[in-house]
Amino acid sequence: MESRTSHNLFEVYLRLRPSPPGAPASERILTVEAPETKEEEVQREATGVTHITLNPPTDRRRAIEKFAFTRVFEPDAGQLDVFHSAGVVPMVEGVLARDGGDGTDAMIATLGVTGSGKTHTMLGSKTQRGLTQLTLDVLFRSIGLNMLEGLHLASAADSLQASDPSEATLMTASNFIDAVCGDVPGSRSRAATPMIGESHNPLSPGPARRNIQRPSALPQTPDVSNIDMCCDASAEYAVVVSMYEVHNDRIYDLLSPPSRNASSKDIRRRPLLFKSTEIERARDAKTAGATLVEAGKINESLMYLGQCLQTQSEVGTSSKPNIVPYRQCKLTELLFSNSFPSSSSSSQPQGPRRNPQRGVMIVTADPLGDFNATSQILRYSALAREVTVPRIPSITATILANAPPMAGRPPSPVQTHHPRPFMPPGSSGSYRVASSDERATMELAALEIARLSDDIDHLREEVDAQTEARMTAEAHLMSMEDRMLDLEASIRDDCATEFEERLAIELARFKSSLLLEQERNDEHWDRKVDVLERGLGTDEADDKENVLVESLEEELERLRRENVILKRELANRSPSKRRPLEERGDCASSPQGLPTKGEGVAQLGRKMEKMHLSNSNSRAPGGASSGSPKKLRRLGNRKWEHEEDADLEY
């Protein structure tokens, strides 16, 4: 392919992916502009620049955007077309440095919305080889016998490892394949994180990452065996392959085993020959939370990329020194850091200067994809952009367009586009010739409108600039939000730890006070039980007393009855024999105070005797008796009844 002279650090190509079968063509948002005239076709041939138009969906009042690219690959373009047309062969030539020297670094990067074909372009598919395989094929065949092998490779690997600032481990391709395929005895599924300065034998198989099947047949098409290049016959070559992914402004080494050490993800390794970078935009910028933060970071990276690409084109055209701000994010640093000529060694400022790298950016897009996402990617990656805002014709413009042309003056373009006279609604329909005053007024109005129209254009540009500034600010805001989230998480962790510590202390304090309280309660209950027991002992003594009292009362009752019986018996006797009972002497004969049955009767006899004597004594002086003889006689009939009762009771 004929190489074109360009001042750009990157040639930017657009590759459109084919539509999936059955997709409606009506939803196509992207069209490639065909040259309308012969001149345009010639110009395109000369410059190679192609334009595409991004059409907003019909329901939105969005501007129609036109983007310029070094070249556009249409959906039917194959891998080989891209390989040749993107100028990969001259890049490989530059790397090989046939004529000696340091050669020229080369960079191939893809950029696109998810699913737009980045992986397909770089790594191919099951049947098609991608740019990486095609390039390596050409490179290996061109180097041929000049490739380092055996012991030379081991020593070269050591020096490469020593000059590599990253933690990545170098190993030979065969050892890497063995490790990846996992059929090496004793291989592990995950490797330990290599330490800086740790020696590693590149000839020994490294730790296995995953057990994948060894591919039986890799795709062989497209074929590039016809491409033959020469290398420097006096040089020895080693090809170092590395793969990185830029995500969330971090660079991940895809070939190294995953490490738990987050800081190691940040370490950037500079590939000696190729860098392949894939960046992607979030599927939907409206998603919340982490995805939003992620989208913010990606948008920020894209914005810096846009700034760098814009500055690079200005570097070529303007005489003023223009510095490309590539150190603002990891993505642009990775893409552009080799783009500028520099001294090969700081200690030898007069030494040979390293050639700036050649860069190719392949932007991938889906013509049926998401309008917003595609528009954003294209806006930041295209070489040039034009915006056409669809205008709704105003009433004034329509009036002016319908005014008749002034004599002696060329008709204005607006007027020529609208030849039909304007008839306002309700008018008679007859056309009235305007006076010269009216025409002059209309001319002035037309000029004013033209001025206003220019103003509007300026304002639109300003709005665009403001929109971009707002996006930048939003991106910053999102990254700040991300930081705030991190901070919040760490504060929460701290709080949780402190809370747990305090909780443990309070729990211990609570337990000890609970134990104390339990002990106090136990003591209290013990005391109560003592008191109760003592109380129960007193009741028993009382009971004994009660029993005694009860038996005494019973005895007393019995004695009373006895007394009554005796009184009756006495009353039934003859009054002459009657002696009054000696008062209450009937109950003091036994030593216990209780008379036995025999003693009771004997006593009773004695008492009755006494009563008889005392009665007779008392009757003698007065002759008068206190008791009535009639009464006594009447009671005589019942005397024995009571005696029987008394006997029965005894």
Ligand X SMILES: Nc1ncnc2c1ncn2[C@@H]1O[C@H](COP(=O)(O)OP(=O)(O)OP(=O)(O)O)[C@@H](O)[C@H]1O
Please give the residue ranges that form the binding site for ligand X (CB under 6 A).
17-18, 112, 114-120, 125, 280, 364
In the complex, minimum distance from the CB of residue 121 to ligand X, in angstroms, rounded to a whole number: 7
In the complex, minimum distance from the CB of residue 78 to ligand X, in angstroms, rounded to a whole number: 8
Q: Is 441 annotated as a binding residue?
A: no
Q: Closest by alpha carbon to 328, among 355, 297, 357, 358?
A: 297
Query: Secondary structure of 558-615 in the HEC alphabet?
Result: HHHHHHHHHHHHHHHCCCCCCCCCCCCHHHCCCCCCCCCHHHHHHHHHHHHHHHHHHH
In the complex, minimum distance from the CB of residue 79 to ligand X, in angstroms, rounded to a whole number: 8
In the complex, minimum distance from the CB of residue 114 to ligand X, in angstroms, rounded to a whole number: 4
In the complex, minimum distance from the CB of residue 14 to ligand X, in angstroms, rounded to a whole number: 12
Q: Apex CA 424: angle with CA 418 and CA 430, to 5°?
A: 85
Q: Closest by alpha carbon to 127, among 219, 224, 222, 223?
A: 219
Q: Is 78 annotated as a binding residue?
A: no
CA gap 469, 131 in Å, rounded: 36
Q: Is 144 annotated as a binding residue?
A: no
DSSP string, 237-304: B------EEEETTEEEESSSPP-S-HHHHT-----SS--EEEEEE-S-TT--HHHHHHHHHHHHHHHH
In the complex, minimum distance from the CB of residue 365 to ligand X, in angstroms, rounded to a whole number: 10
CA gap 639, 162 in Å, rounded: 148
Looking at the Cβ atoms of 70 and 116, the one nearer to ligand X is: 116
Tokens 């929109």, located at residue: 467
Looking at the Cβ atoms of 119 and 322, the one nearer to ligand X is: 119
Looking at the Cβ atoms of 18 and 580, the one nearer to ligand X is: 18
In the complex, minimum distance from the CB of residue 120 to ligand X, in angstroms, rounded to a whole number: 3
In the complex, minimum distance from the CB of residue 125 to ligand X, in angstroms, rounded to a whole number: 5
Q: Is 319 annotated as a binding residue?
A: no
Looking at the Cβ atoms of 118 and 385, the one nearer to ligand X is: 118
Which residues share a beta bridge with 11? 360
In the complex, minimum distance from the CB of residue 6 to ligand X, in angstroms, rounded to a whole number: 25
Residue 73: helix, strand or coil by DSSP?
strand
Question: Token digits for 630?
Answer: 């009639």
Contact 442, 403 (CB under 8 A): yes
In the complex, minimum distance from the CB of residue 83 to ligand X, in angstroms, rounded to a whole number: 13
Q: Is 119 annotated as a binding residue?
A: yes
Q: Apex CA 409: angle with CA 408 and CA 410, to 5°?
A: 130
Contact 279, 298 (CB under 8 A): yes
Helix axes 639-649, 436-572, angle to 10 degrees: 120
Looking at the Cβ atoms of 112 and 296, the one nearer to ligand X is: 112
CA gap 632, 572 in Å, rounded: 6
Q: Is 112 annotated as a binding residue?
A: yes
Helix axes 436-572, 289-317, angle to 10 degrees: 160
Looking at the Cβ atoms of 116 and 133, the one nearer to ligand X is: 116
Say which DSSP state 637 is in. Answer: G
Contact 307, 492 (CB under 8 A): no
Q: Closest by alpha carbon to 361, among 130, 121, 108?
A: 108
Question: Token digits for 605?
Answer: 């006899």
Looking at the Cβ atoms of 125 and 343, the one nearer to ligand X is: 125
Q: Is 117 annotated as a binding residue?
A: yes
Looking at the Cβ atoms of 78 and 393, the one nearer to ligand X is: 78
CA gap 137, 80 in Å, rounded: 13
CA gap 550, 235 in Å, rounded: 136
Q: Is 132 annotated as a binding residue?
A: no
Looking at the Cβ atoms of 20 and 425, the one nearer to ligand X is: 20
Q: Apex CA 510: angle with CA 509 and CA 515, to 5°?
A: 100
Looking at the Cβ atoms of 82 and 604, the one nearer to ligand X is: 82
In the complex, minimum distance from the CB of residue 18 to ligand X, in angstroms, rounded to a whole number: 5
User: Which residue lies nearest ligand X, judged by its C-beta?
Assistant: 117
Looking at the Cβ atoms of 127 and 225, the one nearer to ligand X is: 127
Q: Enumerate the known binding-site residues.
A: 112-119
Q: Enumerate the known binding-site residues for ATP.
A: 112-119
